[in-house]
């Protein structure tokens, strides 16, 4: 029987990357302490911060919200419903159930009932863009705008170690220096309308967050988004998982050492500060932001489709 490294009771979780094992209560304590350590080491939060937590209904974002709320931070959830059939319906239901069970405030926006129909299937159908590229753009803009309009100074997302390692691999393989400069667990605002962006789970693996959510009895959406199959990120994740099996701790070292040793060398290549978008007023690197330019493209394509019908 494998024993818990902390209390010597029977272990329920083995973490090969940390060469350790824990019983249920000790794992919960380990996970929460590690998150708190990431927050304090990177000076992510203070008790006065008003935090908007982007919650998809998946294990990572719900686990993050659970930890932050339990540690007494001032949190509000923000859920963007993407209009992706059953997946979006289940995601919204899981998020709403989580918030109401804990009495936590939640803001929900639905792309299906928004002024402009920009659900992911509509955008992809009309513009032929990659679903995840379009989705990422819409989510980033919606999170930024929601944080600004509702007066939150911090925006927290549930990206985990596997997400960070896959993103890092993609950026390194193509030497995306501007992206590498911005790949940080905490991004300070470069514009008055931006909130500080934080990723407190950046060193917690997908496995750890799944175990934590399960141990805490958090019902989350298990099904993956139908667009995730074939996404480049998934290819990188599979590759990194193969490395991790052979060499436990690879992902942790890859991400941790990037931030410690390599990232400072890229930070000088960061973008110049953004201006205001002439359409929506949010920060933009051109005269109109990439979200408004996407909306404009969708509008034009819709008009063309209508005219040719």
Enumerate binding residues for ligand SF4 (CB under 6 A). 82, 120, 131-132, 135-136, 225, 227-228, 231
Q: Torsions phi, psi of 254, nearest 5? A: -55, -50
Nearer to Zn ion, 231 or 280 (CB): 280
Q: Which x/- pattern over 5-24 shows residues binding Zn ion (rule: CB under 5 A)?
A: -xx-x-------------x-
**201 Cβ contact list (under 8 Å, min separation 6):** 35, 38, 60, 63, 64, 158, 159, 160, 161, 209
Residue 228 interacts with which of Zn ion, ligand SF4, none, CB < 5 to 8 Å by class:
ligand SF4
Nearer to ligand SF4, 46 or 228 (CB): 228
Nearer to ligand SF4, 138 or 169 (CB): 138
Q: How far is the CB of 173 from ligand SF4 (least distance, A)?
A: 19
- Kindly tell me which residue out of 140, 279, 299, 302 binds Zn ion, with binding defined by CB under 5 A: 279
Report yes or no: 238 and 230 within 8 Å, Cβ to Cβ: no
Nearer to Zn ion, 23 or 64 (CB): 23
Nearer to ligand SF4, 231 or 243 (CB): 231
Q: Which of 78, 84, 67 is nearest to 224 (CA)?
A: 84
State the Cα angle at 73 between 72 and 76, rounded to 5°: 120
**Cα four-point dihedral sign 224, 228, 233, 237:** positive
- Kindly tell me which residue out of 68, 169, 289, 295 binds Zn ion, with binding defined by CB under 5 A: 289
Residue 225 interacts with which of ligand SF4, Zn ion, none, CB < 5 to 8 Å by class:
ligand SF4
Nearer to Zn ion, 219 or 274 (CB): 274
Residue 221 interacts with which of ligand SF4, Zn ion, none, CB < 5 to 8 Å by class:
none
Residue 136 interacts with which of ligand SF4, Zn ion, none, CB < 5 to 8 Å by class:
ligand SF4
Report yes or no: 102 and 75 within 8 Å, Cβ to Cβ: no
- Kindly tell me which residue out of 13, 15, 21, 26 binds Zn ion, with binding defined by CB under 5 A: 26
Using DSSP's 3-state secondary structure scheme, residue 34 falls into: helix
Helix, strand and coil percent figures for the chain, each rounded to 5: 55, 10, 35
By the rule CB under 5 A, 292 interacts with Zn ion = yes
CA distance 147 to 218: 25
Q: Torsions phi, psi of 222, nearest 5? A: -85, -35
Give the interface with Zn ion as residue ranges (CB under 5 A).
Answer: 4, 6-7, 9, 23, 26, 277, 279-280, 289, 292
């Amino acid at each position: 029987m494998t024993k818990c490294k902390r209390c010597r009771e029977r272990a329920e979780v083995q973490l090969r990357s940390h060469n350790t094992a824990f019983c249920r209560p000790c794992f919960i304590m380990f996970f929460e302490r590690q998150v708190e350590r990431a927050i304090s080491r990177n000076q992510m939060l203070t008790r006065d911060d008003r935090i908007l937590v982007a919650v998809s209904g998946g294990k990572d974002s719900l686990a993050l919200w659970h930890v932050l709320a339990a540690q007494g931070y001032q949190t509000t959830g923000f859920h963007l419903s993407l209009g992706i059939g059953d997946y979006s319906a289940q995601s919204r239901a899981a998020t709403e159930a989580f918030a109401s069970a804990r009495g936590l405030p939640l803001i929900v926006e639905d792309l299906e009932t928004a002024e402009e129909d920009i659900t992911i299937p509509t955008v992809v159908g009309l513009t032929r863009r990659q679903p995840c590229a379009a989705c990422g753009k819409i989510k980033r803009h919606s999170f930024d705008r929601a944080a600004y309009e509702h007066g939150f100074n911090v925006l927290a997302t549930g990206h985990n170690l596997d997400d960070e390692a896959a993103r890092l691999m993609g950026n390194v393989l193509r030497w995306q220096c501007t992206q590498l400069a911005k790949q940080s667990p905490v991004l300070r605002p470069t514009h008055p309308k931006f909130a500080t962006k934080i990723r407190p789970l950046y060193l917690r693996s997908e496995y750890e967050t799944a175990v934590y959510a399960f141990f805490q009895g958090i019902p989350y959406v298990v099904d993956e988004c139908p667009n995730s199959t074939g996404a480049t990120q998934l290819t990188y994740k599979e590759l990194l998982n193969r490395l991790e099996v052979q060499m436990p701790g690879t992902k942790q070292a890859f991400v941790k050492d990037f931030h410690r040793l390599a990232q400072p060398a890229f930070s000088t290549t960061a973008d110049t500060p953004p201006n205001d978008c002439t359409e929506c007023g949010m920060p933009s690197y051109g005269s109109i932001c990439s979200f408004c330019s996407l909306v404009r493209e969708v509008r034009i394509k819709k008009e063309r489709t209508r005219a040719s019908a």
